Structure 1
Amino acid sequence: MEELFKAIGDENRLRILNLLTDYELCVCEIEVLLDLNQSNVSRHLGKLKSSGIISSYKDGQWIHYRLSDEFKKNSTDLLKYLREQVFNRSAYVRELRKCKIYIDSPLSCQDITSDKDRVQVFLEGELERQIFLEESKNEK
Structure 2
Amino acid sequence: MIWLVEVFKALGDENRLRILNILMHYELCVCELELVLDLNQSNVSRHLAKLRQSGIINASKDAQWIHYKISDRFLRDHQHLVAYLKHMYKVGEIYDYDLNRCVIYKNSPYNCQNITNDKQMVIDYISHAI
Give the TM-score taking structure 1 as reference length.
Answer: 0.88
2:59 is paired with a residue whose SS is strand
Pick from 57, 75, 83: which aligns with 1:72? 75
Q: Give the structure with higher Rg (CA).
A: 1
Aligned residues of 1:18 and 1:92 also touching (Cα < 8 A): yes
Deviation at 1:86, TM superposition (A): 3.7
Structure 1 moving runs of 4+ over 6 Å: none
Deviation at 1:85, TM superposition (A): 1.9
Pick from 17, 37, 48: which aligns with 1:14? 17
Determine the C-alpha separation between the residues in 2 that align with 1:96 and 1:62: 21
Matched residues, number: 127
1:63 corresponding residue in structure 2 = 66
Determine the C-alpha separation between the residues in 2 that align with 1:11 and 1:5: 12
Determine the C-alpha separation between the residues in 1 that align with 2:117 and 2:106: 18
Pick from 41, 49, 54: which aligns with 2:52? 49
Aligned residues of 2:26 and 2:69 also touching (Cα < 8 A): yes
Deviations 1:24-81 (A, max 9, x none): 0000000000011111100000000000000010000000000011011111111111
Aligned positions of 1:1-140 closer than 5 A: 1-127=4-130
Deviation at 1:87, TM superposition (A): 4.4
Identity of aligned residues (%): 54
CA RMSD of aligned residues (A): 0.9
CA distance 1:87–1:15, change in 2 (3 Å): farther
Deviations 1:101-121 (A, max 9, x none): 111111000110011122112
Q: Structure 1: which amino acid aligns with 2:121? A: R
Give the TM-score taking structure 2 as reference length.
Answer: 0.94
Determine the C-alpha separation between the residues in 2 that align with 1:115 and 1:77: 41
Aligned residues of 1:24 and 1:64 also touching (Cα < 8 A): yes
**Structure 2 portions without partners, runs of 5+:** none
